[in-house]
């Protein structure tokens, strides 16, 4: 039984939760009360993750952190969604790193500020929006040529990049169906995979308490 420290609003946690479900692996969630500061507390940083981040996956007596590392481990252990051969493995990591540094990074930060922060600097938001849209354009062009990031079959590169794309446009500020048709088609292919669930149905913590 895998134990995933997670919360519903985190797309990075969703990457791992989605992988566990799609791969048919047994797991249970451990709620992280991020919005009340749990990840910034001494207990969390000393006992769960010194980096003060989620997700954290308990596996084989260890706690693994960083979604890309966790996805790689689960793919190797389960044999599901793993890249095939050294060339594809390198290409897989190329897209996971692009996701972490560009696609998810700017997208997630923009969404967090837009939806969960009361004070927003318009210049900061404009910068993040432009950077996110530049990353979306790269991925939309690539997915216009093939069904998934590495070709005809989904891999952990796709699961990584899917972390934030299922939150509603009203929440994220981006409408893929209207502006990025190849990403939207890919998003629907991911959604059609057996075992897919929305992040708010998959992890604890939604909806947030009012007030």
Whether the predicted pLDDT of 73 surpasses 90: yes
Residue 210 vs residue 33, higher pLDDT: 33
Average pLDDT over residues 24-29: 98
Do the Cβ atoms of 81 and 156 come closer than 8 Å?
Answer: yes
CA gap 152, 128 in Å, rounded: 31
Whether the predicted pLDDT of 211 surpasses 80: no
* Domains of the chain and any CATH numbers: 2-80+196-202 (3.40.30.10), 85-191 (1.20.1050.10)
Match 């299922």 to its residue by tokens.
166
Calculate ∠ Cα 106-109-112, nearest 5°.
150
- pLDDT-above-70 percentage for the chain: 100
- SS3 string, the chain, reads CEEEEECCCCHHHHHHHHHHHHCCCCEEEEECCHHHCHHHCHHHHHHCCCCCCCCEEEECCEEEECHHHHHHHHHHHHCCCCCCHHHHHHHHHHHHHHHHHHHHHHHHHHHHHHHHCCCCCHHHHHHHHHHHHHHHHHHHHHHCCCCECCECCCCHHHHHHCCCCCCCHHHHCCCHHHHCHHHHHHHHHHHCCCCCCCHHHHCCCCCCCCC
Q: How many CA atoms lie within 13 A of 134 on its CB side?
A: 11
pLDDT tens by residue, 145-185: 999 999 999 999 999 999 999 999 999 999 999 999 999 99
Average pLDDT over residues 75-97: 97
What Å distances lie between residue 193 and 62, 120, 150, 153, CA to CA? 29, 37, 16, 11
Q: Spell out the residues 6+ positions from residue 123 whose beta carbon is closer than 8 angstroms to its own.
A: none
Q: Categorize the per-residue pLDDT at 210 as very low, low, confident or very high, splitting at 50, 70 and 90.
A: confident
Average pLDDT over residues 51-68: 96
Whether the predicted pLDDT of 111 surpasses 80: yes
Whether the predicted pLDDT of 31 surpasses 90: yes
User: How confident is the prediction for the chain on average, in pLDDT?
Assistant: 97
Q: Categorize the per-residue pLDDT at 119 as very low, low, confident or very high, splitting at 50, 70 and 90.
A: confident
């Amino acid at each position: 039984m895998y134990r995933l420290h997670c919360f519903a609003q985190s797309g990075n946690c969703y990457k791992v939760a989605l992988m566990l479900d799609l791969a048919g692996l047994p797991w249970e969630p451990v709620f992280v009360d991020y919005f009340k500061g749990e990840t910034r507390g001494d207990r969390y940083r000393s006992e769960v993750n010194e980096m003060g981040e989620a997700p954290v996956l308990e596996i084989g007596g260890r706690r693994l952190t960083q979604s890309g590392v966790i996805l790689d481990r689960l793919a190797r252990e389960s044999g599901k969604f793993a890249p095939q051969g050294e060339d594809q493995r390198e290409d897989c990591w190329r897209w996971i790193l692009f996701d972490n540094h560009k696609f998810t990074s700017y997208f997630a930060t923009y969404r967090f500020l837009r939806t969960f922060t009361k004070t927003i600097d318009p210049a900061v938001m404009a910068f993040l929006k432009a950077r996110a849209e530049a990353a979306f354009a790269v991925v939309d062009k690539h997915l216009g040529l093939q069904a998934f990031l590495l070709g005809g079959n989904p891999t952990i590169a796709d699961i990584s990049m899917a972390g934030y794309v299922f939150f509603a446009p009203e929440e994220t500020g981006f409408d893929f169906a209207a502006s990025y048709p190849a990403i939207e088609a890919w998003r629907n292919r991911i959604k059609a995979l057996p075992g897919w669930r929305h992040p708010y149905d998959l992890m604890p913590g939604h909806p947030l308490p009012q007030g």
